[in-house]
Structure 1
Amino acid sequence: MTAAAATTLADRIDAALPQTQCTRCGYPDCRAYADAIAAGVPHNRCPPGGAEGIVRLSALTGRPVLPLDPAHGTEGPRALAVIDEAWCIGCTLCIKACPVDCIVGASKLMHTVIGAECTGCELCVPACPVDCIAMVPVTGDRTGWDAWSAADADLARARYGFRQMRVARDKRENDERLAAKAQAKLADLASHTLHTDPTVIEKKRAVIEAALARARARQGAG
């Protein structure tokens, strides 16, 4: 398979995944799993897509329909995260864990979940240090794609993409702030060179320049 064909197949596979970004497949997000399937990884590791999802992926890849791999979970009704606000301590760890930014709140303030935007990924549950988050089934007997829709997947993909951009932007801005502080510190060291032990000055300068180099490297990698 050519590189172009593999990319096209990965795009089609990604479009057929539910975009819950739950990582149960063993990959960091749905796109990474789509790339892996296109490269030959089994296509039966997505519990949110369920049996219907496997049928769709089989049609795209030309591979046989397989049962869902139990090592990656079981198919079930769609569930929403619900926070017991009486127990919430406002630690923000669930906010950091949510792949689609559907938890709102602030440090030391109680959090709440925007139900219409929750993908049921469950990633917030282990992140909570006081076990105040429960996954509540909301689709009755409907499971897999019967409990999800293309519109839900599109919204989840868009929110996940926005979160990725926001996290990258916040990291870049933080690196820029740190770099500016380091530059100011270097200038301050230079102004005190005549009044301080040169050995101490050089050690401090080396530490600051190393920090600047790391920040530039991170910015280049981003």
Structure 2
Amino acid sequence: MSTRARQAVSADRIDAWLPQTQCTQCGYPRCRAYAEAVAHGEAGINQCPPGGEVTIAALAKLLHASPAPLDPRFGIHKPRARAVIDEAVCIGCRKCLDVCPVDAIVGARKLMHTVIARECNGCELCLPPCPVDCIVMVPVDSDEAAEPWPEYTRAEADHWRVRTENRLRRLALRKRTRHGTPHSTESAAPLPPDRERIRAEIRAAVARVKALKARTTGQKP
């Protein structure tokens, strides 16, 4: 078996021991990228906070390496949680939809968004881009029978992997469609987005939300 083939097999087996939260805490854009880095010896086996001790032990056994404590530079292992959107505050900016790696959020621009609870993997990637801080993480009761991880089942991890791959394929297809193909007779290049108008709309929506909160609490906006 060639070195490339061994690395490909190892990446698949390593990826199988990642909970597929796609949280990027490991320093890579998704779980598969981290698995490939580990297979190439470019990343340690202790960089996955969601996988915690289970993932570290499994990767150590798989790669015949010594187990190591979770590297605190990449975060800490936390109880499972899922995102919930305060629909009364949501301004419909779509920023959370754009970053959710498993398409667990639905909604449309300027309309209320909501999280599909059963699909949310708790990655927290939707928190930073929200301009009105209307998303919170709420605890999820762990299934006592969950395995191999205390918080995640193998079926859930496999499901999130598929949703991530489907999303990436959809985005790639959309990008190709927008830019046309060599056989296209018409220009498919998108018009430059009116970024300043969008920013102005978001600022106005944020101001409305702050004013609403100020009236509710009696504080100055």
The higher radius of gyration belongs to 1
TM-score w.r.t. structure 2 length?
0.78
| Aligned twin of 2:96 | 94
Note if contact 1:77-1:141 (Cα within 8 Å) is conserved in structure 2: no
In the alignment, the residues of structure 1 paired with residue 107 and residue 120 of structure 2 have an alpha-carbon distance, to the nearest angstrom, of 15
On the 8 A contact 2:143/2:150 being kept in 1, the answer is no
Unaligned runs of 5+ in 1: 184-222
Alpha-carbon distance change, 180 to 126 in structure 1, aligned in 2, over 3 angstroms:
farther
Equivalent in the alignment of 1:81: 83
Q: Deviations over 1:25-57 (max 9, x none)?
A: 000111100011111121100011011111111
Evaluate the alpha carbon distance shift between residue 109 and residue 52 of structure 1 in structure 2; reply closer, same or farther with a 3 A threshold.
Answer: same
Q: Give per-residue Cα distances to partners, 1:80-105, cap 9 Å, x unaligned.
A: 00000011000001000100111000
- Paired residues, number: 182
Query: How do 1:1-222 and structure 2 match up within 5 A?
Result: 2-40=3-41, 41-139=43-141, 145-176=149-180, 181-182=186-187
SS in 2 for 1:65: coil
TM-score normalized with structure 1 length:
0.77
Alpha carbons of 1:170 and 1:26: their partners in 2 closer, same or farther (altered >3 Å)? same
> In structure 1, what residue type is equivalent to 2:171?
V
What CA RMSD, in Å, does the superposition of the two structures yield over aligned residues? 2.1
The amino acid of 1:59's aligned partner reads K
With a CA cutoff of 8 Å and minimum separation of 6, indicate the structure with the bigger relative contact order.
1
Report which of the two has the higher share of helix.
Answer: 1
Give, in angstroms, the shift of residue 139 of structure 1. Answer: 2.7
Identical aligned residues as a percent: 55
Are the equivalent residues in 2 in contact too, given 1:83–1:134 (CA < 8 A)? yes
C-alpha separation in 1, matches of 2:18 and 2:112: 33
Distance 1:165 1:145 in 2: 28
Structure 1's consecutive aligned runs of 4 or more residues displaced over 4 angstroms after TM superposition are 140-144
- Tell me the amino acid that sits aligned with residue 52 of structure 1: V
Structure 2 residues not aligned, in runs of 5+: 189-221
